[in-house]
Structures are given as C-alpha cells and as structure tokens.
Homo-oligomer: A and B are copies of this chain.
Amino acid sequence: MEAVSTNRAFGGVQGVYRHASSATGTDMTFSVYVPPHAEGAKLPVVWYLSGLTCTHANVTEKGEFRAACAELGLIFVAPDTSPRGESVPDDPAGAYDFGLGAGFYVDASEEPYAANYRMWSYVTDELPALIAEHFPADMARQSIMGHSMGGHGALTIGLSCPDRFKAVSAFAPIVAPGRVPWGEKALTGYLGTDRSGWRKHDAVALIEDGARVPALLVDQGGADQFLADQLKPELLEQACADAGIDLTLRIQPGYDHSYYFISTFMADHLRWHAVRLG
C-alpha cells in the first residue's frame, strides 16, 4: 500500500492510498481520514460508498465529514466506485451509469466484466483487511453509509452483514435496483438476465427475503431530479414497515442529489452512527 497524499486536517490526517487489488486485478485508490486520537487507541470505522461517476475524491473534497469525525473519533473510509485502468472493460457506449465509475458493489458474473468488477469482494473482504492492518481501526465497531449507487451499496452490504455493521444509513439511495432503470441496466450487465440472482443486491428484495437490521437512517432530497424514476424511497418505506425495521426516512424539501445536499446532513449521519458505534 502506497500513500498518494497525506494532509493534516481537523487535527487528524486525511490520506489517499493506492494498492494492487487482488479482488479487481487492478490498482485501487481509496481515502481514509484518521481523526486525532490517543497513542495506541483503536477507533470505530465508518465506510462511505460513493455514487455513479465518483471516485474516492468527491466525498473526500466535498463531503464535510472531517469536523464531525474529529469530534466523534471516527475513522472514515471512502473506496472508489469501480476498478479502473486501460485494461478494464467499460460500458460499450461509454455511458456514465455502467462500467467505470459504476461498479454497483457487486461481483460480476457476466463477461467481459467478471474478471475486474468485483466491488462486493473488494469492499467487504479485501479493503477491510487492509484497513485493519494499516490503520488504528477497531474492526469490531464498523458502520456503513453511502450516496445514491453507494446508498444501494451501503444498504445491501449492511443488510447482508448485520453482525459487522452497527449502523447503516444512506443519502438518496437506490433502494430497489431491480425495479429502476439504473439498476436494471447494471444488474443485467454484471449479473445477467436471471432476476432471481439480483435479489441479494436489492435492498428492498433483501428485506422482503428476511434480511434485518435494527434501524436505518435515510435522507432524501425533495427536489432530487432522480427521486421519482430511480430512487423511489417509498419502496423502502413499505418494505421496512412490513418487516418491522425502524426506518427514519427524511424527505428534505428543496435539496437535490449533489454534495451540497450530502454535506448538509453528513454530520447528522455521523452522530447517528457514533451513538450506535458506542
């Protein structure tokens, strides 16, 4: 693992790191903020999964998470959203919503994506091991959040690993990729046309199939251009109501899909996580 950059910020260190990933077969870049802490202390870890077109850099530069992480003593990890490199197959038409920058946090089974597009394994197995090895992380205290496609990732991973993540939240998540255009395109491309195989990568379907977490926090901009066609928080609301999951869904009037929205509510989410991380 190589440090691309380290900058002091809010008393801690914002780092960007690169490593050769065995999961994706490519170099992968990610960012980690380590807040000020006592020598030898182990700190809880918050995972942040980003949305379509993003790298680690968007939230690192625009997410406004460091003040709260410094105050609350949280490590903040931001992976990339796909494998990258000249040898990595992209969307055939170069679209923004599939391929590079759009890994959808699945392990692809379809060709030509199966070799590199293994973001589920990368985010749930390989990168946690690296974080545990190189940072003062208490891996018994992890939580996960994400935005849009990364909200989908946070919900599906959080629901699939309820013993690992003490808190799960999302900003404007894709809650039911099996029922919206972004998700249908991505899951078809990565996993094939058999929709039964999609259910473990669809938060609403996971809940319908019995996955449980104690509580979820979701903020959704009321003026988000993707709200009606791609995000559909009402599907998550119904699934949680049916399953008895304590969902806090806040429709924030006037807010859009951007980091201006995310940064506004970031500290709220981190405080919610910190309570559950102990």
Contacts and interface: CB of A to CB of B under 8 A. Distances in A.
Interface of A: 7-11, 14, 61-62, 64, 66-67, 221, 223, 254-256, 258-261, 263-264, 267
B66 A8 contact: no
A8 B223 contact: yes
A151 to B, nearest CB: 19
A263 B8 contact: no
B61 A10 contact: no
A7 B256 contact: yes
A61 B64 contact: no
B64 A258 contact: no
A255 B64 contact: no
B64 A7 contact: no
Contacts of A254: 8
A136 to B, nearest CB: 17
Contacts of A10: 263-264
A67 to B, nearest CB: 7
Contacts of A263: 9-10, 64, 66
A61 B255 CA distance: 16
